[in-house]
């Protein structure tokens, strides 16, 4: 459990410590001998041929850990997964990034990785469904699609020879993100799941949990805005007109801020960011009738930790 980055009084420290100890106890029971530090022996069966993977080494006939983390086993492969590692892309990952450069036939995006990701012009989806080669006119109008500092959602398509990654946005759910907040949290707090796009109907908000630790909370749109074929054919006037929309309602703005603060609290506490826990955190703040700014106070962090400990305890009892 990561250190708490908030100022607590003595009573809050005791409550927080008790909640965190309860969470660690539950984790240890569920993952017996799973957590290891450097030089710890990893128990393996001597009868089977074990494949030593990342974070492991052999010493005096035993498999030992060379990293701090959790032991993972895939068939005969044994490796150590670090808990606070940098983002490691996998093909199919849903990511959120920010455009840092518009280059020849491509955009470069910051995605919380060691290298900028590349989104090729040819990997962009045309809303009318026409499949054709991109022309010089398309390349000249690239800034109409995305420009520097735009927030973009895409999918990891492939890996390059130099270790970089290529993205694709060949779906209406991908593309430019507007009217919302971009949050950055440690990537290891976002687990790969079946769904990373969530429409919170009760709040009128779209939530995108990027596998790279970039999370988008923004106003819901029925069909995500992107460029039509005629916009690529130098009809910039239509593009400007189509983006002139009504102002976001105050209630939606407040909902976005409340959801964003719930995610910030979970990140500070080191909890996995899932839709279920986000909604429970929001519900707790509403039940206590807390203002949006009060959610970042020390007392609410303690209450969230206690609520999470209680929730996981109930889950463990049900499984038992």
Q: Per-residue pLDDT for 84 more than 60?
A: yes
pLDDT for residue 101: 94
Q: What is the mean pLDDT of residues 163-183?
A: 89
Residue 50 pLDDT: 79
282 burial class (0-12, 13-18, 19+ CB within 10 angstroms)? Answer: buried
Query: What is the DSSP code string of 197-240?
Result: EEEETTTTEEEEE-TTSEEEEEE--SS-----HHHHTT-HHHHH
User: Does the pLDDT value for residue 164 go beyond 80?
Assistant: yes
For the cut 50, the answer to whether the pLDDT of residue 76 exceeds it is: yes
Residue 236, pLDDT > 90, answer: no
Q: Is the pLDDT of residue 248 over 60?
A: yes
- Give the DSSP per-residue string, 301-316: HHHHHHHHHHHHHHHH
Average pLDDT, the chain: 83
pLDDT one-digit tens code per residue, 258-302: 999 999 999 999 888 999 999 999 999 999 999 999 999 999 999
**Domains in the chain, CATH or no CATH each:** 33-83 (2.40.50.100), 94-234 (2.40.50.140)
Task: Quickly state the pLDDT bin for 131 (edges 50, 70, 90).
Answer: low
Selected residue with higher pLDDT from 211 and 58: 211
User: Is 104 a residue whose pLDDT tops 60?
Assistant: yes
8 Å CB contact between 152 and 176: yes
Give yes or no for a contact between 34 and 65, defined as CB atoms under 8 angstroms apart: no
pLDDT at 78: 85
């Amino acid at each position: 459990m990561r250190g708490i980055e908030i100022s607590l009084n003595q009573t809050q420290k005791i409550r927080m410590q008790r909640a965190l100890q309860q969470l660690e106890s539950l984790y240890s029971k569920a993952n017996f001998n799973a957590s290891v530090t450097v030089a710890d022996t990893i128990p393996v069966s001597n009868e089977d041929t074990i494949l030593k993977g990342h974070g492991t080494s052999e010493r005096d006939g035993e498999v030992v850990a060379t990293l701090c983390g959790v032991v993972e086993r895939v068939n005969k492969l044994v490796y150590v997964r670090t808990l606070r590692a940098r983002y490691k892309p996998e093909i199919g990952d849903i990511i959120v990034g920010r455009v840092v450069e518009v280059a020849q036939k491509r955009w470069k995006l910051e995605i919380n990785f060691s290298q900028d990701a590349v989104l090729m012009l040819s990997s962009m989806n045309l809303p009318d469904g026409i499949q054709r080669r991109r022309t010089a006119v398309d390349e000249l109008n690239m800034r109409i699609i995305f420009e520097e500092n735009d927030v973009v959602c895409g999918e990891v398509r492939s890996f390059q020879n130099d270790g970089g990654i290529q993205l694709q946005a060949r779906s209406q759910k991908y593309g430019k993100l507007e009217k919302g907040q971009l949050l950055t949290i440690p990537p290891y707090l976002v687990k790969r799941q079946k769904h990373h796009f969530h429409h919170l109907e009760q709040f009128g908000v779209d939530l995108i949990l990027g596998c790279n630790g970039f999370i988008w909370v923004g106003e819901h749109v029925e069909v995500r805005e992107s460029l039509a074929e005629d916009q690529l054919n130098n009809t910039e006037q239509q593009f400007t007109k189509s983006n002139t929309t009504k102002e976001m309602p105050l209630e939606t703005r407040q909902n976005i801020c409340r959801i964003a603060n719930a995610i910030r609290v979970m990140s500070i506490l080191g909890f996995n960011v899932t839709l279920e826990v986000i909604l429970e955190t929001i519900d707790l703040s509403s039940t206590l009738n807390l203002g949006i700014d009060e959610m970042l106070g020390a007392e609410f962090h303690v209450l969230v930790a206690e609520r999470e400990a209680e929730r996981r305890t109930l889950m463990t009892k049900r499984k038992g």
